[in-house]
Amino acid sequence: MRDELTAINANRAKSARAGAGLGALNLVLLLAGGLAMAASQWAIFVHAPEEQVMGLTQKLFYLHLPLAWWGLVSFLLAGLAGAFYLAKRTPGWDALGAAALETGLLLAGLALFTGSIWARTAWNTWWTWDPRLSTALVMCFIYAGVLAVRRLDFSFERRASLSAVLSIVAFADVPLVFFSARLWPRTIHPSIVGNGGLAPEMLAVLLFCLAGLGVFWLGLVLLRCRQALAEQRLERLQILNGENHE
């Protein structure tokens, strides 16, 4: 009987030590990410040449693409974390999944906002059936739904399993949404936002922005993940205290 308790307390101590290590890494990531994004803001205006056709508004693109890109990576991470949770049932994966979902929704939301401003300046309508824009919108609806499920009053395992399954299904649905959005406008040729030929400097700035946001995103996910682990600990303590009886 003693060994059962000591084993449980052992991995509790391990996760506590890991928590401290993560704290330092977290701080570094967030700071570095923040600085890199600030630098990229400078680079966008100073270094990148102005695009002839669209002029200044094209510069919004350096912000919009990284947001959309890392938002998608976030949802991929949420799907993978879900798969690992279903396979291994360790609470850590659920915490990472929750963090990835929330951060992903934030990024996708911002990408959507900047995207619609882009649409406003480029085609002076707030909304067009641009495949990427409409996919981002539908993704925001789906993942907002998944986060709503996480807030319902379920036991920990139930919420974690549901969230894991939904994260996988939602990510599998994204390509389907994208292709249907591309087919939907009656025009045969899908409208491609002009990001084909990028001047080398522009590409350099874009990659720099991408990297900067990437570091910041990683810091954000880790921060939210540690918070999710703390929330799990709180829930366990509440049960132990008999606050919410079975």
Partner 1 sequence: MSKIDWLWLGGAAVWLGFGAYLVLLARRQASLERRLAGLETSVRSGNDLPAEES
Partner 2 sequence: MDALPLLRLGHVAKFYGSRPIFRNVTLELKAGEILHLSGPNGSGKSTLLRVIAGLSRPSAGELELRLKSGARIGYLAHQTALYPQLTAKENLLFWSRFYKVQPSAKKGLEESLNDALRRVGLEKLAQATSGTLSRGQAQRLSLARLLLLEPALLLLDEPDSGLDEKARELMEREIAAAAERGAGVIRVGHGREGVAKARRAELRPGQGLYFYEPAAAPC
Partner 3 sequence: MLKGALILCRKDLALLAGRGGGLVQALLLGLLLIFIFSLTRGPGEAVSPQAAAAIFWISSLFCQVLLFTALYALEESDGQRQALLLAPLPGQSVWLGKALAGLTLLGLAQLVFLPASVIFLGQGMSGSIPGGLALILLTDLGLAALGSMLGALAQGGANQAGRNGPAARESLFSILAFPLLLPLLLAGIRTGAALFAPAAGLEDYGDWVRLILACDAVFSGAGLLLFGFIYDSRE
Residues engaged in binding partner 1 (CB under 8 A)? 5, 8-9, 11-12, 41, 55-57, 59-60, 63-64, 67, 91, 106, 109-110, 113-114, 117-118, 120-121, 156, 216, 220, 223-224, 227, 230-234, 236-238, 240-241
Among 4, 148, 197, 200, binds partner 2 (CB under 8 A): 4
- CB of residue 154 vs partner 2: minimum separation in angstroms? 13
235 binds partner 2, rule: CB under 8 A: yes
DSSP 225-238: HHHHHHHHHHHHHH
* Angstrom distance (rounded) from CA 25 to CA 21: 7
190 binds partner 3, rule: CB under 8 A: no
158 binds partner 3, rule: CB under 8 A: yes
- CB of residue 157 vs partner 1: minimum separation in angstroms? 9
Q: Give SS3 for 103.
A: helix
CA distances to 21, 79, 214, 223 from 41, rounded to whole Å, are 31, 31, 14, 24
User: Which CB sits closer to partner 1, 44 or 168?
Assistant: 44
- CB of residue 240 vs partner 2: minimum separation in angstroms? 5
Helix H or strand E segment including 62:
helix 61-88
**How many CB atoms neighbour CB 46 within 10 A?**
8
What's the token pair of residue 56?
């200044």
Region from 13-21, 165-173, 211-219, 235-243 binding partner 2, contact rule CB under 8 A: 235-243
Binding mask 29-68 for partner 2 (x = CB under 8 A): ----------------------------------------
Residue 210 interacts with which of partner 1, partner 2, partner 3, none, CB < 5 to 8 Å by class: none
* Angstrom distance (rounded) from CA 219 to CA 226: 11
- How many of the chain's residues bind partner 2 (CB under 8 A)? 9
Q: Give SS3 for 151.
A: coil
Strand partners, 23: none
Residue 220 interacts with which of partner 3, partner 1, partner 2, none, CB < 5 to 8 Å by class: partner 1
* Angstrom distance (rounded) from CA 203 to CA 40: 12
DSSP 66-134: HHHHHHHHHHHHHHHHHHHHHHH--HHHHHHHHHHHHHHHHHHHHHHHHHHHHHHHHHS-S----HHHH
Positions touching partner 3 (CB under 8 A) are 86, 138, 141-142, 144-146, 148-149, 152-155, 157-158, 161-162, 164-166, 168-170, 172-173, 176-177, 179-181, 183-184, 186
